[in-house]
Homo-oligomer: A and B are copies of this chain.
Amino acid sequence: MAITIKDVARESGVNISTVSRALNNGYGVNPQTRDLVVSVASRLNYRPNRVARGLVTGRSHSMALVVSDIRNPFFAEVARGAADAARTDNCDLILCNSDLDPVRQMEYVKSLLEKRVDGILMNSVSPLSAEDQAELVECGVPIVLLNRSAASKAFSTVSADNEAGGVLAAQHLLKLGHRKIAHVTGPRQHGNLSDRTRGFVQTLEDAPRPVTPIVLHGPFNFEGGRDLSARLLAEHPETTAIFAANDVMAFGAVRTALDRGLRIPEDLSLIGFDNIEFSSIIHPPLTTIHQPKYEMGQAAVEILLRLARDKTRRTPESRVLGVELIERQSCGRRS
């Protein structure tokens, strides 16, 4: 059996309450007995039982991260930021994959509530029914949503400045002299994607010499990028630049370009969004809009930590983090 606070108390000839005080804050206990207790504890190799502590303090010192799939490099990066931030407060991070399945997501949340997690960082609540969402805001545990700034005001949110990213992409293409511009993106109802699209389209239309881009919606993945850009180039071969709503869709566009014998960036310019690691590895290295993924995870648990401490006034907090244009070699100049 593991050794407990009682063993330490017996061995040092004091009461367990003294042991507890000596080992925790150390305040209000005689330095001598404190030293004694500490030495006995380390000699016995005592490790406090954190679940017992959690029972009385009400804090479990764990956070949860509910994403659609950790295999998505975007979420992996967020997870790393979140885990590192949690570690600074001795919290650990529970990983849940929902595949955006509402049932699974609620199952996870309920299980997490039973575990009394101190906070939950969630990918999305949009697939959830209104009742489920209401239950989430009522359940009492702090929740922050990722990249869902448009969602209910009841939740805290952390997101990248998606609209600004769209603007950056448009400006870059404009500056390079492009006039035949297209945009391939995910499903229409996708909140932060439409922010990107809005910033992009608006900027093109507000330009001194306005451009109206072609916008295509489809699956938010490699195949979507590949197929959408194939359709696009078949119908509009005059297109000189494509802005993809994320890097993986851009990779799909690269594949299509290669299949059609187009050179990048000579024949076709490509710009992505996310700046995942493989954007710099692929050929040609992809010009893209950098999202501060690691920092988003970090910021999210910082908010969660704050909310967990102030059990009183828990006003939701929202942060939007800046994005950045990363120029690599997939965009070329047009006269």
When C-beta atoms are compared, the residue in chain B nearest to A75 turns out to be B76
Q: Which residues of B contact A77 (CB under 8 A)?
A: 71
Q: Mark A36-55, 1 if CB is under 8 A from B, else 0.
A: 00000000000111111011
When C-beta atoms are compared, the residue in chain B nearest to A107 turns out to be B87
CB of A254 closer than 8 Å to a CB of B: yes
Q: A47-B113, A55-B52, A258-B283 are in contact. Are A73 and B73 (CB under 8 A)?
A: yes
Interface residues of A in 112-134 (CB under 8 A from B): 112-116
Q: A50-B114, A70-B70 are in contact. Are A281 and B251 (CB under 8 A)?
A: yes
Q: Mark A54-72, 1 if CB is under 8 A from B, else 0.
A: 1100001010110001110
Check B94 against A93 for contact (C-beta < 8 Å): yes
A interface residues (Cβ-Cβ under 8 A, vs B):
2, 47-52, 54-55, 60, 62, 64-65, 69-71, 73, 76-77, 79-80, 83-84, 90, 92-97, 110-116, 140, 222, 248, 251, 254-255, 258, 277-278, 281-283
Q: How far is the CA of A55 from the CA of B52 in the complex (A)?
A: 6
Q: How far is the CA of A62 from the CA of B54 in the complex (A)?
A: 15
How far apart are A62's CB and chain B's nearest CB, in angstroms? 7
Check B94 against A92 for contact (C-beta < 8 Å): yes
Q: Which residues of B contact A73 (CB under 8 A)?
A: 71, 73, 76
In order of increasing CB-CB distance, the 6 nearest A-B pairs are: A50-B114, A95-B95, A71-B76, A51-B54, A50-B115, A76-B76
